Amino acid sequence: GAVVSQHPSRVICKSGTSVKIECRSLDFQATTMFWYRQFPKQSLMLMATSNEGSKATYEQGVEKDKFLINHASLTLSTLTVTSAHPEDSSFYICSARVEGAGEAFFGQGTRLTVV
Amino acid sequence: DAKTTQPTSMDCAEGRAANLPCNHSTISGNEYVYWYRQIHSQGPQYIIHGLKNNETNEMASLIITEDRKSSTLILPHATLRDTAVYYCIVRVLHGATNKLIFGTGTLLAVQP
């Protein structure tokens, strides 16, 4: 299957700082990318959907000014957690899909810890 | 997208077939059935998908009932590395808002 690379895999940051997570599709062009968040012992929760060159669409309850998503190219999307707080500590996962293809492919996830 | 219902957890002996059920009684005619799995602390992995015919690939088989209201994912010879949470998802194939919405899934524990 296609490869989606997410970086970093783990990050620890201080409360109040911002953290950027990158998601790259390595061997295909992703017209759409999705960002998820997963708390311990819970399922994945979709945060937002981004299409290359346009603004992201956020799910209800997700603060767009706190979770900045940029999808500047067909192979790269970034999620920036601004002014992070301990409650933002979570497992963040990206997914990429080619329009018209059935399956979406996932990155390996980023474990964010805010101290 | 239609909702799905899966058992919370299942056990399976190593080397035996693992049969994971999924109910999707409100599935629409243009919605596909997808299966993903998530091994602890990793991103989900695509397994298989189908519309109405049974499907098989190198990882698993997908059996969809004739009325499409339920399906079963079959891992023919489960190994310890198949221990994971398995998610059954139904969604349309095309469209700009073609999102994967995850339910709670089934925790499959393969026992030695």
For the sheet with B55-56, list strands across it.
Answer: B18-23, B70-75, B61-64, B55-56
The minimum CA-CA distance between B15 and chain A, rounded to whole Å, is 25
Q: Given pLDDT bands bounded at 50, 70 and 90, which one contains residue B95?
A: low
> Which residue shows structure tokens 């311990």?
A40
pLDDT of residue B97: 56
Residues of B within 8 A of A92 (CB-CB) are: none
- Interior CA angle at B24 toward B39 and B48, to 5°? 45
Percent of chain A's residues with pLDDT above 90: 76
pLDDT of residue B65: 97
CA distances to A100, B27, B65 from B23, rounded to whole Å, are 26, 9, 10
Q: B20 in helix, strand or coil?
A: strand
Most confident of B53-57, B94-98, B100-104: B53-57
> Which residue shows structure tokens 């979570």?
A90
Residues of B within 8 A of A24 (CB-CB) are: none
pLDDT of residue B57: 96
Which of the residues A4, A6, A7, A106 would you substitute to probe the B interface, choosing the one with the greatest number of B C-beta atoms within 10 Å? Answer: A106
Mean pLDDT of B47-65: 95
Taking any CB pair shorter than 8 Å as contact, residues of chain B touching chain A are: 32, 34, 36, 38, 41-46, 49, 87, 93-94, 96-105
Contact A6 B41 (CB under 8 A): no
Contact A108 B103 (CB under 8 A): no
Is residue B2 over pLDDT 80?
Answer: no
For the sheet with A4-7, list strands across it.
Answer: A4-7, A19-25, A76-81, A67-73
The minimum CA-CA distance between B60 and chain A, rounded to whole Å, is 15
Residue-by-residue DSSP string for chain A: ---EEEE-SEEEE-TT--EEEEEEESSS--SEEEEEEE-TTS--EEEEEEETTS--EEPTT--TTTEEEEEEETTEEEEEE-S--GGG-EEEEEEEE-TT-S--EE---EEEEE-
The minimum CA-CA distance between B88 and chain A, rounded to whole Å, is 12
pLDDT digits (tens, 9 = 90+) for A69-93: 998 888 999 999 999 999 999 999 9
Answer for the pair B79, B18: CB distance below 8 angstroms, yes or no: no
Q: Could you write out the three-class secondary structure of B24-67?
A: CCCCCCCEEEEEEEECCCCCCEEEEEECCCCEECCCCEEEECCC
Which of the residues B99, B101, B106, B107 would you substitute to probe the A interface, choosing the one with the greatest number of A C-beta atoms within 10 Å? Answer: B99
Tell me which chain A residue has its CA closest to the CA of residue B31: A102
Mean pLDDT of B61-88: 97
pLDDT of residue A114: 97
Rounded Cα gap, residues B1 and B65, in angstroms:
19
